[in-house]
């Protein structure tokens, strides 16, 4: 088969479409013939040499894909060859075939095409696990999403609205904020021109955000605590703004606030399987009737992954950028 390889870390040009050995499913695994994969910022970090895949994971980037089951390993039940699926991966999605633990498979949801389903596993599992399983967002509460026009942001808006929450977002352009509004965002903050702490307080009569989903890390830590409501929960899922920040514990105590920080890729298989099962139970039914939909900026041929990486690295997209495998074209 062919896959995107990284012979040497570097810029987008470091990605090379090359022939590699076919993977073979082991016990509890299935082989998926990939139709499409999606680009995530973790893939960019891996390409740059900053985020190695976990042990035993294919060396090719790609944290999610869609496709058809081509082979089933021993000990797997509930799936058949030919089933159309999407999958949460630890790596290997930029390839024509990938082996997936059966617990990380999801059926393609109703109303979503097979190619478009590649945009769903990473964002739905990240948002559901952090905003709902950990931070326990409830109807009537306010969720602040940083990077509202990103793949994770566009899904967080839709899921929060589906459960009856109010949503505030930050983004850097009017076009991106307009798209967030189309998805249901109630409070729109241009972070280049406005202070999100002030805008969220103003929109909530001084209360603040009950839950904050943060992809920035250190850069926003102090202001995120200021923006929290009493009993607020800050969920950190990224470090685009740095890894070391100063925390005013007194301010957090005054808010009776909580901070969680998680990553998805390196979790044990059983934890990933539990998250995937929860997503299938709680999120997948919301695609019926169009309550949720993938937001896809563009689709590019998988061998052209360098172009896709440049788009995402420049934040020149809204939603997800997909890579279409040759057999999915």
Strands (E), the chain: 2-5, 16-19, 29-38, 64-72, 84-88, 97-101, 105-107, 142-146, 166-171, 187-190, 209-214, 228-236, 258-261, 296-301, 320-324
**Both structure tokens of 219:** 């850069």
% of the chain surpassing 90 pLDDT: 96
Q: Range(s) for CATH 3.40.50.720 in the chain? A: 135-261
As annotated, the residues of the chain forming the CATH 3.90.180.10 domain(s) are 2-123+265-324
- For residue 18, give Cα distances in angstroms to 6, 249, 302: 10, 50, 11
CATH class of this structure's domain 135-261 = alpha beta
Residues 6 or more apart in contact with residue 136 via CB below 8 angstroms:
233
Residue 61 near residue 43, CB atoms below 8 Å: yes
Residue 328: what pLDDT?
83
Q: Which residues of the chain have pLDDT under 70?
A: none
What pTM was computed for the model? Answer: 0.96
CATH number of 2-123+265-324: 3.90.180.10
- SS3 assignment, position 99: strand
Residue indicated by tokens 């090359």: 18
């Amino acid at each position: 088969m062919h896959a995107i390889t990284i012979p040497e870390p570097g810029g987008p040009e470091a990605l090379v479409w090359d022939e590699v050995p076919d993977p073979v499913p082991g016990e509890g695994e299935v082989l998926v013939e990939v139709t499409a994969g999606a680009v995530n910022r973790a893939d960019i970090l891996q390409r740059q040499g900053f985020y190695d895949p976990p042990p035993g994971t294919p060396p090719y980037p790609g944290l999610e894909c869609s496709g058809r089951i081509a082979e089933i390993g021993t000990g797997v039940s509930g799936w058949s060859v030919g089933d159309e699926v999407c999958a949460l991966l630890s790596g290997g999605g930029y390839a024509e075939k990938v082996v997936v633990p059966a617990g990380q498979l999801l059926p393609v949801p109703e109303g979503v095409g097979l190619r478009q389903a590649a945009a769903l596993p990473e964002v739905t599992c990240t948002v559901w696990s952090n905003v709902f399983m950990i931070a326990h967002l409830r109807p009537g509460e306010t969720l602040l999403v940083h990077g509202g026009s990103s793949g994770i942001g566009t899904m967080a808006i839709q899921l929060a609205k589906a459960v009856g929450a109010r949503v505030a977002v930050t983004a850097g352009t009017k076009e991106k904020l307009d798209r967030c509004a189309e998805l249901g965002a109630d409070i729109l903050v241009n972070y280049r021109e406005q202070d999100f702490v002030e805008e969220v307080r103003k929109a909530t009569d001084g209360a603040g955000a009950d839950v904050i989903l943060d992809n920035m890390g250190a850069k926003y830590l102090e202001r995120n605590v200021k923006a929290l409501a009493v009993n607020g929960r800050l969920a950190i899922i990224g470090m685009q703004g740095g890894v070391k920040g100063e925390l005013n514990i007194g301010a957090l105590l005054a808010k009776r606030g909580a901070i969680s920080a998680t990553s998805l890729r390196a979790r044990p298989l059983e934890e990933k399987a539990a998250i995937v099962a929860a997503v299938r139970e709680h999120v997948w039914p919301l695609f019926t009737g169009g309550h949720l939909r993938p937001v896809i900026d563009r689709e590019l041929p998988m061998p052209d992954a360098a172009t896709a990486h440049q788009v995402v690295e420049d934040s020149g997209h809204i939603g997800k950028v997909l890579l279409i495998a040759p057999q999915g074209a």
